[in-house]
Amino acid sequence: MTASPLIHRTLLAALLLASAAAMAQTANVELKGANEVPANTSTASGTGSISVDADKVVSGGVTTTGIEGRVAHIHTGAAGANGPVIVPLAKNGDNGWSVPPGTKFTDEQYAAYQAGTLYVNVHSAAHPGGEIRGQLQPK
């Protein structure tokens, strides 16, 4: 018995979707004051995830507690080192920050993401240089 062309197209579509999903990398992140440079004793925290598709489109965000964040960013920098802002995050509620739609990494930024040398930082009035931070370690 031969499969119909519709079944072939459906299977092909499913394989393409699975393949594209497999190519995306996601980094879960835990933000805390102890990760800052220099470290601080803030009791604030945050969690979230940042995903990057094969075409380098970035998505995701973080949710914080115990902090009145003023701004949040993705920065370039290895653990223990500070670096420049590469993606400003958009505030999406009292405690949420998200990657703006359409954000795309450059080749260099994507390589840094894959190497684990990007981090998320949330800045506050009490800690304008950053109150809580988490390194992005994609899986």
pLDDT at 91 over 70: yes
Residue type, 100: P
Q: Using one digit for the tens of pLDDT, what is the confidence trace for 94-106?
A: 899 999 999 999 9
pLDDT at 8 over 50: no
Q: Using one digit for the tens of pLDDT, what is the confidence trace for 25-53?
A: 999 999 999 999 999 999 999 999 999 99
Q: How many CA atoms lie within 13 A of 71 on its CB side?
A: 9
CB distance 109 to 102 below 8 Å: no
Q: Identify the pLDDT of residue 5.
A: 53
Give bridge partners of residue 98 from the DSSP assignment.
61, 90
CB distance 113 to 138 below 8 Å: yes
pTM check: above 0.75: yes
Selection from 115, 121, 27, 25 nearest residue 70 by Cα: 121
